[in-house]
Amino acid sequence: MSIAILTSGGDCAGMNPAIKKFVDYCFDRGAQPYLIYDGLEGLIDGTIKKAKHSDVAGIIHEGGTRLRSSRSKRFFDYEYRKRAYENLQSLGIDKLVILGGDGSFRALKQFYDDFGVSFVGIPSTIDNDIFGTDYCLGVDTALNMIRWATDAVRDTSASFKRGCVIETMGRNCGYLALVSAVTCGAEVCVIPELEYDLQSLCVKLRKQLDEGRKYIVAVVTEGTKKTDALVKWLEDEVGIETRATILGHIQRGGNPTVYDRLMATEFVIHAVDRLIQQKSNDGLVIVYADAKFKFISIDYVNSRKFEIKEELLSLAAKMVK
């Protein structure tokens, strides 16, 4: 049996530990692993290599993905999907593991519908915004990168009695900003999921500054597009000199944390076991929900929008009003 792995969409820490475990575990199970480079584009172009242990030796501590990634428009054209299928057929590959987000899973679902190529998707996105799973690979490392950066900016802000606005990634999902605000002790948190009252916050923060507060930390999700407005508000209304720090792609990099390495290992083991054991072809996503690993259909993943749990949102109550 031959199984290939690819990484698609945005990269994240945890992908390399997953790739290493995939190769090692396939050999343990008597399957031949293949590596697909450059994501879906590599599937089309045939940049597919029979894997050896030496291909993945020493990569467990590296961020990003050794296989590289891409966002492929060509894959939405049947002609190119057919070419990708023929590339797999020439190598005897009929099963795939894909590390990516819901867009990548939808692409492979179409591939499965066209040609019956089985796959298991492993949720891999720092946004943690895939419905059906409580955790996506790469999130813990991203949170630790944000924590490190926020702590560092707070140090210099306190030295000059400044405010700092920290912008995180997250598109339309505020998970990174919310968890970072809670765990870094921020005074303000602005995310799409919560309504905030700047007037009430202003009164509270002015009082704290009068009583000796030396800094203010505000964490905001990029998708709100409120970073510049928050800087202006802190300076003009609250009355504290303020700087913005846009963390950007630093959140995608860094050495994978212990938790992400462990989750990568467990995700891959379950995925490979399922592909080897299943009797019928299908396309599934392995998720971690309610402290358990389980398989769900890509249709179920796409059936609803991810929502942050209410109990987690409630932790930000003092940072929005």
Domain segments of the chain as ranges: 2-138+256-301, 140-252
CA-to-CA dists, residue 20 to 52, 261, 314, angstroms = 10, 10, 38
Q: What is the pTM assigned to this prediction?
A: 0.95
Distances (CA, A) of 162 to 165, 210, 241: 10, 14, 5
Per-residue pLDDT tens over the stretch 86-105 = 999 999 998 999 999 988 99
The 10s digit of each residue's pLDDT in 137-187 is 999 999 999 999 999 999 999 999 999 999 999 988 999 999 999 999 999
One fold for both 2-138+256-301 and 140-252?
Answer: yes
What mean pLDDT is predicted for residues 118-128? 96
**What does the pLDDT average to over 114-142?**
96
- Helix H or strand E encompassing 163: strand 163-168
CA distance 125 to 46: 25
**How far, in Å, CA of 113 to CA of 307, rounded?**
28
pLDDT of 279 over the 70 cut? no
Q: What percentage of the chain has pLDDT greater than the value 70?
A: 99
- Closest among 170, 167, 166, 106 to 139, alpha carbons compared: 170
**Residues 116-136, mean pLDDT to the nearest whole number:** 96
Q: What is the pLDDT of residue 171?
A: 83
Q: What CA–CA distance (Å, rounded) separates 197 from 174?
A: 17
Query: What residues are annotated to the active site?
Result: 127
Across the range 68-84, mean pLDDT stands at: 96
pLDDT tens profile 19-72: 999 999 999 999 999 999 999 999 999 999 999 999 999 999 999 999 999 989
Q: Share the mean pLDDT of the chain.
A: 96
Q: How many alpha carbons lie under 13 Å from residue 193 in its C-beta half-sphere?
A: 26
CA atoms of 225 and 248, how far apart (whole Å): 14
Whole-angstrom Cα distance, residue 83 to residue 315?
Answer: 50
* Model pLDDT, residue 281: 67
What CATH number does the domain located at 140-252 have? 3.40.50.460
**3-state class (DSSP) for residue 97:** strand
Q: What is the pLDDT of residue 110?
A: 94
Nearest to 181 by CA among 318, 273, 3: 318
Q: What is the mean pLDDT of residues 233-252?
A: 97
- Has domain 2-138+256-301 been given CATH number 3.40.1280.10? no
Q: How confident is the model at residue 278 (pLDDT cuts 50, 70, 90)?
A: confident
Rounded Cα distance between 184 and 179, Å, is: 8
The two beta strands, 48-50 and 32-36, are antiparallel
Residues 15 and 104: their CA atoms lie apart, in Å, by 15
H/E run at residue 49: strand 48-50
